[in-house]
Structures are given as structure tokens and as C-alpha cells.
A and B are shown apart, each in its own frame.
Chain A
């Protein structure tokens, strides 16, 4: 059958009823946006999570679950259960199979961003995404005790430049009443953006952290015991403990042996985890939740499609006249039914187009906000295959739903009588 006539009639009819159909289309648009958004967010979050760390063979911390260790050491979420003694770290570093080890010391914050105490090994060995190294966008890695290197987001959000003065706060959180205000740090470098949690942290030397915490053994500064900047530079600032360590293994085949050895470490209970395994477990847990979320969103779309069918069925009452005219002019019942299916499909396609536009707009607007508040790097990209498939399912589902009014119209138009005055 030639589709041009039913198509043009369907479009003209939709335009004629645009008042009421706008609302239905809006409902459908919002639900499709939701569906598409959830799927988009899913793949972005997965990408963001799985690309957060690479090139590191083991993460070592105090004895805990692997998710907890991964979350606090890489994603800066939650807190460590315990610290590692510096001596243990030294033993670890000097093991024959260990190629490199980077210490991480967590606990303080700077205006809501985590402070990470580490050494120059972090710049050298940390990899993210597809084995990409960190790069400095400006300045140099810290050299002095009171130098600080800012992650890209920190520098951008707080508008810091090189040589700015930075005062760290004791403990985590966006607002802290205890500040290390006697020992300001100087911004020596700013990292290039990575789209990982690295962007949202500030990096100082282990010695710097040690210096500002001297005299803070009770958790608060004891008058007379704290150090000034110059005093600190004179002292031996070897730390007592660190929070975790990133480890690179000389030969990858030895990774498991080293992991077992660290898990059975005699001096103190340690946990060594494989970041890849931990990441996939993390994703498995989050993925279930997100699959459920996607399912729920799918139901929302189905609900709005049923709403669409209900509205079309209601509108049928007002369409007796035109159906009678079309039938009397020689239109077949099939053509009448086709009108309903095409109208449903056209509305669904329109809703999909609007949803893509709306979704793009939302991501463009909400992206920076999400990055700032949740460290979620969300950027506009072309839709992937899954998203196209989901999008294509919407008009298909609409056609299925449209079969309800279409079948009714088909049946009724077979028993159509002459004239348009019937009010039955």
C-alpha cells in the first residue's frame, strides 16, 4: 500500500489535535529522556569508574574488604579502617618482586577536596584510562615540604593559580573548623584534567602532612607543640604511617604470589587487592542496581505509551465524522487502522527526537555540576549502539500500543454506515 496518503493524513490529523497531543508527547518525551538518561549515565559512570586507575597491579592497605580499600584509596570515598606502619611500607617497597610502590596518606581536606600525601612516584606511576600517565598543565610536581599540586577540577573550581596560598583543613568534609592555618601551602603545580578522581584531590608530600600534624597527636593542635614552616624544614619528617600504597610488580605473573604474601604479612594485617578485580566487583554491585533502575525507567516509558493509547482511544469518539467521510470516499478499513498506527509511531519518533535534544541539553547543563559535586565526568558524546537500540524500541513499542486503537478502528470502520450524524 502506498504510504504517502495515510502518512500525510496522519500528520495533518496530529497537527489538528496538537493541543491535547502536546501533553501526551511531553509525557512520552520526559519518560524517554529518563530512559535514555539512565542508560547514558550508566555507561558514563561505568567508563568513569573503570578508567579511574590502570597500570597499578596491587593496592595495599590495612586489612579490610577490597571494595572499601578501592573506594578510599582510588575514589577518595569513605575512610580507611586503619593505617600501615611506615616500616611495613619500607619492607614492601624493598621486596624483590616489587617494581615500584607509591605511598598514599589520606585524612585531611582542602575546601571539600581530599588531600593526598604521596611522593613523586605518584606522578611517575599512576595511570588512568588506557594506560595514560598524569601530566602537569602548569608548574612542577611538589618539591618543598609546603608545596601543593592541585587536581584539574580543584584548580578550576577554586580559581587557583600557581603560587597561590592554600590552607589545608584537618579531617574531611567541605567545612572544617580546624585549619592548618599556621602552615600555608604554595601551589607549585596544577595537573591536566583526567576525568578521574585525580582531578578532585590535592597532592602534597608525606613530609608536608607530617609537618602540619606535628603537635596534633590528640586530634587538636597543642599550643607550643606545633611547628612553624621554618622549624619544619629543619626536622626529620619521616612519617609514622601511611594509609595505602599503590604497587607495580616487576613481572605480572608474580602478582598473585605477591598478593598472597602481603595478605599473610607477619608484622601487621594487610590487604592487597587487584584493582581490576575490585573495579569489576564494584561494577557488578552497582550494575545490578542500575539494571533495576533501567528496568523501572522502561516501565515508565511503557506507562506513558499506554497513556498515549488511552488518549487516542478517547479521541476516537471525536473522529467518527472523519472516519465516516474517509470510508464513504473509498478508504479501506486497513487505511483507517494504519492512520492510528502511523500517528502513534509519529508521536513516538517526535518524542524520541525531543528526548535526545532534551537529554543533550541536560547533560550540557548538569555535566559541570555533576563533576563538581560527585566527581562524575559526564560529557556529550554520540549515542552508542545500545542507546540507539533503546531509542529504536520506543517507536516499535508505540506501534504495538497503537495496534489497540487501530484494531478497534479497523473493526468499527468495517461496520461503518452511511452518514456522519450517528451519535451512537
Chain B
């Protein structure tokens, strides 16, 4: 397995703005990270036994309505097991990109390959399945189903997907408990209503839910914006440590630059005028 978080230590880089035909700017601080044309885009290479990249995007653009301006996204290639920090101010289309990646919005323009599968080829139902089987998500806030306990919230993906359940070790229940313990949720809260948890605890339960059953990719949308600095760092470290031990890629979207230092690779989304 390839080493993680060690390929390139993050360095401050000059940012260049590339003019785009739609008066849109893409700020790419790692132009070298553009898509490799020779990458096998669909399946695991039988010779090298390399898993397909967790995520590949090329020339991706999205319009909310036909006349409106297009949001253009930088090209992304995220090898399996590596993490990516996507920096973007509000309104830069962060959530839209995550909607596209997890199949809640349909790809209109450009190419998006998720875990070796072309997003355009996937039906809604297949995408729902893929999301249940292979993806974990963490929202900015309100991450938990209000009527389920923290433990039941953590176990939710295992109940929606047999595959996620099979990948838990030794059992779904045991892994959920281990994750909650590792993410510092006090045992007494495991069966209590989620409303009794602090915001930081709620976000960590959400992380446990995203991590259970070792999905291939976790999408996290501003997961720390409601946390104070201390909780923020702790959250990112716990999340990345657990993800590393599972070979799970994390795609974290945030406007908060202080999180960037935890990530080897970073991209910046351009503002849409």
C-alpha cells in the first residue's frame, strides 16, 4: 500500500488566476495535480493491483439554470487512500461539487469518475447504492438523525448497505462502539438522545458514521465550522487518523485555511461572480 500523507509536505504556494471563458476564475495552487492522461480511469489495473483513484474530475462545470453562469471546477485526481483539502469561500460551489460527487446532482458538463465508475453512466438507483456502499459524508452541521441514538446513527450505513456491514470488524456493533470510543464520545451518551450531545460531539459521531465499514471516500463539507479551534484540530486529527488506518480517502471542503496544514494536497475553488 502506498504511504499516506507523506508525499508532499504542504508548502505555501503562489496562486495564479487562470482566466476562463465564462468570466470565471479558477485558482489552482497545484497545477501539477491535474489529471494524468494515462491513468486507467475505469477499473483496477490487473498488473499492478492498484485500486482506481477515489475521484477524478475533468472539465467539470455546473449551471443551476440554463441562462445562469457556470461554476467551473478545477480538475481533480485523488488516488485511493489519499486526502484532499478543497479551499473555497462561500458561494464558490463547494456544496454543489459535493452534490455532484455523491450523485445527488447529475453531471451536466465534463467528466467525473468516482471509484473507477463514470458518474454519467450511473443511474440514480445505482448511485444511491454506491453512496451507501462506498461513501461517507459529514455535513457542516445537523449531521445526526434526531430520533436515533449516537450508536444507532453510527450504525445507519451498515443498515442501509450489506457491504458496509460486511466490511466492519469484528461486527458492526463492535466497530461502532470502537469508533465512538476512539472519537471520544463518552459511553454514557451512546444510547442517549443525540440532542444531549455538544456540537463537537455531534460532529464526531457524524465522523464515526462516515468511517464505519471503511468506505472508499469520505466527503466532508465544512465539518469544523461550528467548532472552536481546539475542537477543530482534534476533530481533523481523529478523522484523518481513523481514515488512514482504513485506507479511506477524505475530501474535505472548507474556507478555513488553518485546516490546510493537515493535508498533503490542496486545491482552491474559484469564486463565481
Contact = CB atoms under 8 A, between A and B. Distances in A.
Interface of A: 5, 9, 12-13, 15-17, 321-322, 324-333, 414, 416-421
A1 B144 CA distance: 24
- Interface of A, secondary structure class, is helix
Contact of B104 (A325, A327, A420): A327
Interface residues of B, number: 36
B142 A421 contact: yes
Interface in B143-173: 143-148, 152, 156-157, 159-161
Contacts of A17: 147
Interface of B: 95-96, 98-99, 102, 104-105, 124-125, 128-133, 135, 137, 139-148, 152, 156-157, 159-161, 209, 219, 221
A12 B95 contact: no
Contacts of A417: 95-96, 99, 104-105
Contacts of B129: 330
27 contacts: A9-B148, A12-B148, A12-B152, A16-B146, A16-B147, A17-B147, A321-B142, A325-B142, A325-B144, A326-B145, A326-B156, A328-B104, A328-B131, A329-B131, A329-B156, A329-B160, A330-B128, A330-B160, A330-B161, A331-B160, A333-B124, A418-B99, A418-B102, A418-B219, A420-B141, A421-B141, A421-B142
Contacts of A12: 147-148, 152
B95 A329 contact: no
Given A5-B159, A420-B143, A414 B124 contact: yes
Contacts of A333: 124
Q: Please list the 9 inter-chain residue pairs (A to B) with the smallest Cβ-Cβ separation, ordered nearest first.
A: A330-B132, A16-B147, A418-B99, A330-B131, A420-B142, A418-B98, A328-B137, A321-B142, A12-B147
B128 A420 contact: no
A16 B146 CA distance: 8
B140 A419 contact: yes
Contacts of A16: 146-147
Nearest to A414: B124
A321 B143 CA distance: 8
A349 B159 CA distance: 26
Contacts, number: 87
Contacts of B152: 12
Nearest to B105: A417
A260 to B, nearest CB: 76
B104 A329 contact: no
B147 A419 contact: no
Nearest to A318: B146
Contacts of A414: 124
Contacts of A327: 104
A322 B146 contact: yes
A329 B155 CA distance: 11
B139 A325 contact: yes
Contacts of A421: 139-142
A325 B143 contact: yes
Contacts of B219: 418
B125 A416 contact: no
Given A16-B147, A322-B145, A330-B132, A420 B161 contact: no
B10 to A, nearest CB: 26
B209 A329 contact: yes
Contacts of B140: 419-421
B138 to A, nearest CB: 9
Nearest to A326: B145
A186 to B, nearest CB: 72
Contacts of A324: 139
A327 B99 CA distance: 11
A192 B135 CA distance: 77
Q: Interface centre among A13, A17, A329, A331, by most B CB within 10 Å? A: A329
Contacts of B130: 330
A330 B135 contact: yes
B170 to A, nearest CB: 22
B258 to A, nearest CB: 21
Contacts of B105: 417-418
Nearest to B153: A325
Contacts of A331: 128, 132, 160
B160 A418 contact: no
Nearest to A420: B142
Contacts of B96: 417-418
A418 B157 CA distance: 17
B132 A418 contact: no
A138 B96 CA distance: 89
B95 A332 contact: no
Nearest to A331: B160
